[in-house]
Amino acid sequence: MPTLRTVLSIPVLVAALLLSPALSPDTSGTATTAGSADAVLPRLVTEGGAPAAALLAQIRTGPGRVSRYADTGPNIARTDHFRAGSITKTFVAVVVLQLAAEHRLSLNDTVDQHLPGLLRPARTSGSRTGPRSRSQSRSGSPPDGRRITLRQLLSHTSGLPDFTQVTAGTVPLTPPQAVDLALTLPPARRGHYSYSSTNYVLLGMVIRQVTGHPYAAEAERRIIAPLGLAGTSFPGSRRSLPAPHGHAFAADGSDVTELDPRVAGAAGELVTTLDDLDRFYAALLGGELLTPHWLREMKDTRAAQGEYGMGLYPARLPCGVTVWGHNGRISGSYVRTAATADGGHVLTFRVNTDAMADTRLEPALLSAEFCPRTW
């Protein structure tokens, strides 16, 4: 089993263009493909070692959308429910930004204003040393909730360590337990990008404090129900997946279809479908969930040195096209959604394992979908 720093996903910027797609123009002026990503998909199985893989692309055409589905490998289908890992973070970020738009909180609020006393240096003075990521190789000051803002939680610039470094995806935790575990690790530098699922566990706690409801209930009311995402849910402690679903496999080949989602919580609990993820990101980037001001805030990556916005991150493809979205990794599942800036062209692909042997395959697939052919 890999460490849960990989299990709950770390955004990876695209580094290589392996294929050039065949294109057909659409009326919006956005370059679109004629199924070229479909040709890359089998390589996730033959070269990447995934048992099976599937993708769903959707392109806006006038008043409607055109969909294209492809799969490879046994026992995988378009209608399957699967675990989406850190794609959960985009949903949580939307809820927080909607609350900011309603003036129920400010992104400049400190953690201590909503969760007083939870993060104080005195609690971390005896912290033991634990494993560190590259981004945490230079430790910062002990986390102080009087200085850390909600904006820093959203953009992974809080300096809070990632509790998933030590849980390995096997230990269900309550939110306070996850925070306490994180505080046993050396902190990163506040104000510098350092991806940490602890940030979003705290945001889930803030949502409950501000609204009186769990983050899952707020996401259901504000996002899932209005968009009609019938296959999307926050399972809480339910270990089984809704029907229909296939099987999910860990890197060692063991079946991990049943999983306690509390290993992830607000950082990665979501269960969903390909159709629902395409619909969600198209709606988000198309302005259905946030006003233009708050969508710009969500896509502002300056605080995170260009690497992350707020629950959303850009990937610049080798051809110069930038796509927006998120990835998610949790035991038995890896998912990636990417979309054009206006949500007019969206692609979600998934594999039913949390490991792929060749990391070049994801950028190849995205480039094949979104890049115009170069001659």
> Is residue 192 in some structural domain?
yes
Co-location of 65 and 94 in the same domain: no
For residue 114, give every residue at least 6 positions away whose Cβ sits within 8 Å of its Cβ, in sequence order, or none.
Answer: 105, 150, 205, 206, 209, 210
**pLDDT given at position 141:** 80
Residue 138: give its domain's CATH number.
3.40.710.10
Co-location of 39 and 132 in the same domain: no
Cis peptide leading into residue 244 (ω within 30°):
yes
**Strand partners of residue 66:** 59
**Per-position pLDDT tens, the chain of length 375:** 333 433 444 444 333 333 333 333 332 333 334 448 999 999 999 999 999 999 999 999 988 899 999 999 999 999 999 999 999 999 999 999 999 999 999 999 999 999 999 998 755 444 433 333 333 344 568 899 999 999 999 999 999 999 999 997 779 999 999 999 999 999 999 999 999 999 999 999 999 999 999 999 999 999 999 999 999 999 999 999 999 999 999 989 999 999 999 999 999 999 999 999 999 999 999 999 999 999 999 999 999 999 999 999 999 999 999 999 999 999 999 999 999 999 999 999 999 999 888 889 999 999 999 997 642
For residue 123, give every residue at least 6 positions away whose Cβ sits within 8 Å of its Cβ, in sequence order, or none.
Answer: 183
Q: Are 12 and 362 in contact (CB under 8 A)?
A: yes
**pLDDT given at position 260:** 96
Co-location of 79 and 175 in the same domain: no
State both tokens at 265: 């919580």
Co-location of 28 and 98 in the same domain: no
| Domain region containing 101 | 90-211
Q: Domains in the chain: how many in total? A: 2
> Is residue 289 in some structural domain?
yes
Co-location of 77 and 196 in the same domain: no
Co-location of 279 and 294 in the same domain: yes
> Beta-carbon neighbour count of residue 258 at 10 Å?
12
State both tokens at 140: 């910062």
Co-location of 176 and 207 in the same domain: yes
Per-residue b or e along 300-309, where b marks 16 or more CB atoms closer than 10 Å to that residue's CB: ebebbeebbb
Co-location of 77 and 133 in the same domain: no
CA dist., res. 105 & res. 285, Å (int): 23
Co-location of 134 and 122 in the same domain: yes
> Is residue 375 in some structural domain?
no
Report the SS3 class of residue 202.
helix
Co-location of 166 and 275 in the same domain: no
Q: Domain boundary residue among 211, 244, 272?
A: 211
> Is residue 273 in some structural domain?
yes
Q: Domain boundary residue among 182, 211, 240?
A: 211
State both tokens at 89: 């973070």
Co-location of 81 and 109 in the same domain: no
Q: For the residues of 60-100, what is the DSSP string, one character each? A: EETTEEEEEEEEESSS--TT--EE-GGGHHHHHHHHHHHHH
Co-location of 106 and 78 in the same domain: no
CA dist., res. 5 & res. 267, Å (int): 11
Q: Domain boundary residue among 211, 245, 263?
A: 211
